[in-house]
Amino acid sequence: MFDIDLWREIFQSINKNRTRSILSGFTIAFAILLFTILFGIANGLENTFIELFGTDAKNSIVIFPGRTTKAHKGLQSGRRIRFKNEDYNYILEEFGDNVEYITSKVNRNVEASFKGEKNSYQVRAVHPEHMYIENNVVEKGRYINNRDLQNRTKVAVIGNAIKEDLFIREEAVGKYINLNGIPYKVVGVFSDDEGDNEENVIYTPITTAQRVYGNNDYVDFIHLTYNPKLNYDQAIAFGNSLTRKLKNKFDVANDDQRAIRVRNFAEGTRNVSQMMFVLNLIVLFVGSGTLIAGIMGISNIMVFIVKERTKEIGVRKALGASPRSIVSIILLESILITSLAGYVGLLIGATVLKIFGPGLKDYFITNPGVNSGVVIGATIILIISGALAGYLPANKASKIKPIVALRDE
């Protein structure tokens, strides 16, 4: 219910005590300002970490084969470990529940040419699920699919950067690109928000690469993402047991670090998210501490205002003001001062972040800022704070007896 007369009353009363209202709002404005800046900086730190990781899935596990460095079960050290298709299947069989997406990879450098244009690029032969692991976005056409795998078709999905370099202004999808002398049909163009590096890549079906590069079923390495339902500890345990089982399968000593290497992103992610958690906790602690101080300040001033206005409230009651109307005047005045002051703080904070934000890149802070969620949250918190600050004084005001208030001193 919007009662314009009630608001008129409140504005009149705030206006009458302008200096005092501004002063009492100052603490709140400062609290929100502090909170906004701290929060923005914490956000900036988080952004930096996210940027470091790229947009690749943060639940990645990459498994590389290498050479043994220890003799084990009668086998010499220096033996080369090679993954094959059966290892891909083995992982799926053993750990299917823990795997979200999985792809085998064969990487080669190739000379690619289209008409007169020529350049060298990396070919990554993959499974279709690779798209989700790498967070590729198909701009045009399609990605590698299962039919490609079965038929070992010579198709290629090229990055945006390649399309621009080789095809210049021509449509790429449907054309044939020459990779080391073999023509591949371009079926799709993708983009990757990690930039040119990741877009100077050509994807082909893994099965095609295996036939073209030696007619075998070798796999250079396996990249998978673990089930996002796993927490960090479970994910790390999964990575460890994956390593153990594979080492066992290849007759590698358990303490042989080079033969099979498993890079589990969960370990890094866990550390970062733990750090962010602690950082956010500190921000929240400092911010809410200041806010509470602000609420106390407003409450204090409102108690004083009520005391000063005792006589006026008595008169109002004698003239027929209900206790409720008195409560709403005090409460709304408190909420209004709190919210206005809070928004001033938020505005200043956001402006400061906007002006100084870009200069903080050197200090490990990227794009500090507050999003609309924070603004909405702050609004709710401010209204609640205002209500809290006004509750006691309003209650006091409603209990004023007109006969006491009107007694002539």
What radius of gyration do the chain's Cα atoms show?
Answer: 33
Q: Measured from the CB of residue 388, what is the shortest distance to another protein in angstroms?
A: 24
CB of 334 to another protein, least distance (A): 18
Q: Give the nearer residue to another protein in terms of CB position, either 7 or 176.
A: 7
Eight-state DSSP code of residue 128 = T
CB-nearer residue toward another protein: 52 or 403: 403
Smallest Cα–Cα separation from 307: which of 392, 385, 403? Answer: 392
What's the closest the beta carbon of residue 408 comes to another protein, in angstroms? 5
Where do contacts with another protein occur on this chain (CB under 8 A)? 4-5, 12-13, 16, 311-312, 314-325, 401-403, 406, 408
For another protein, the closer of residues 130 and 317 by Cβ is: 317
Residue with tokens 């877009």: 199
| C-alpha to C-alpha distance for 171 and 139, rounded to whole angstroms | 12
Report the residue number, 313 or 374, with the smaller CB distance to another protein: 313
User: CA 274, 278, 281 angle in degrees (round to 5)?
Assistant: 140
- What is the nearest approach in angstroms of another protein to the Cβ of residue 322? 5
Residues 184 and 204: their CA atoms lie apart, in Å, by 9
Distance in Å, CB of 21 to another protein, minimum = 13
**DSSP for 90-114, written as a single string:** HHHHHHGGGEEEEEEEEEEEEEEEE
CA dihedral 136, 140, 141, 145 (to 10 degrees): 0
Closest to another protein by CB, 141 or 323: 323
Nearer to another protein, 97 or 408 (CB): 408
Question: Which tokens belong to 240?
Answer: 């460890």
Residue 180 region by backbone torsions, left for phi larger than 0, else alpha for psi between -120 and 50, else beta: left
Taking the complex as a whole, the smallest distance from the CB of residue 15 to another protein amounts, in Å, to 8
